[in-house]
Structure formats: C-alpha cells, structure tokens
Amino acid sequence: MRLDAELREVAALELIVRPRLNPVLSDFIIDLTGIDQERVDREGVDIAEALARLAAFADGARLLLANGSDADYVRINIDLAGIDDPLAGQRFASTSRHFQRASGRGRHVVSSTLPEVFGFAPPGRAHDGLADARAIAEALRRTLPPGGLAALMPVIERDPWL
C-alpha cells in the first residue's frame, strides 16, 4: 500500500505468491490467511515476479514500512530462491517499537491486533497482507505526533526499528 505524507492510502498492491518449497498450502496457512489452494493456483505468481512488481510499485518511495522483521524474511526468501534482490536499493523500517511504546505493552504488537489495541474497526481479515498494511497505516495515523511520519524520519535515520 502506498501512503501520502498524511498517511492516506493512495494506491494498493495485492499479490499472491506461489510457494516454491511447499507448493501445497497447509490447513494451518489456509485457516490463518483465508487464502486457499485454488486462489494460489489461479492468481499466484512466482516470487521473482512478485518482488519485481513490488519494486516497481515502491519505486520512488522514501521508505518501506513493516511491523516486525518482514524485510528480513523477504531477504531470506530471495536467498532461498537464488534470485537478484529487486528491493536492494530500498530502505526498510519497522513500526514494531513505535507500537510497543504507543500501546504501553512490553512486547511486539502484531499487525492483525492493531485495531483492538488502538480502538478502530479492522480493515479486513486478520493476517491478510493488505488488511494488515491498512491496520498499520491507521495505527500510525492514531499514534504519530503532528507531522506524521516526517516527524519520525530523523528517528528512523538513527534506528530503522523505530
């Protein structure tokens, strides 16, 4: 999802990635994400294509945000797939510590629980990538100081884990 300076959604990208190592989804993953094997078979793209499309979508972005160590998992999967990293030039930061502080919790606040923690309606199914991205954006709108993300950029420069 792409956000403007006021953290409003201006574009969205949703991709289903066909797993290489475990091409048949487990019941656990189906139950967790709501994505079934038929959808993966119908809409799924290889990780190389998905990352190329993500890199094109993110082109020009100052920062890619996640809530946790997603960037590490992307890089692990790039290594496992043996492909070039199309996101190599992108800066990543995590909202994890920010949400820990803002919530008063001493532990990581999972993206799918942000609506409950910060008191807003869930923007979709828990563990759906786009819904979780929308939950992160809404939680940021509710917890960042005036100036939004721009106010945190100096902090991000020092610590990408916020």
CATH of the domain at 8: 3.30.420.10
Domains: count for the chain:
1
φ and ψ at residue 45, rounded to 5 degrees: -125, 155
Cα-based angle 53, 76, 9 (whole degrees, multiple of 5): 40
Question: Which three-class secondary structure state does DSSP give residue 65?
Answer: strand
Q: Summarize pLDDT for 33-42 with one digit per residue, the tens.
A: 999 999 999 9
Closest CA to 54 of 26, 78, 87, 21: 87
- Domain of residue 48, residue span: 2-158
Q: Summarize pLDDT for 115-148 with one digit per residue, the tens.
A: 999 999 999 999 999 999 999 999 999 999 877 7
**pTM for the full model?**
0.90
Instruction: Write out residues in the chain with pLDDT < 50, as ranges.
Output: none
CB 155, CB 144: distance < 8 Å: no
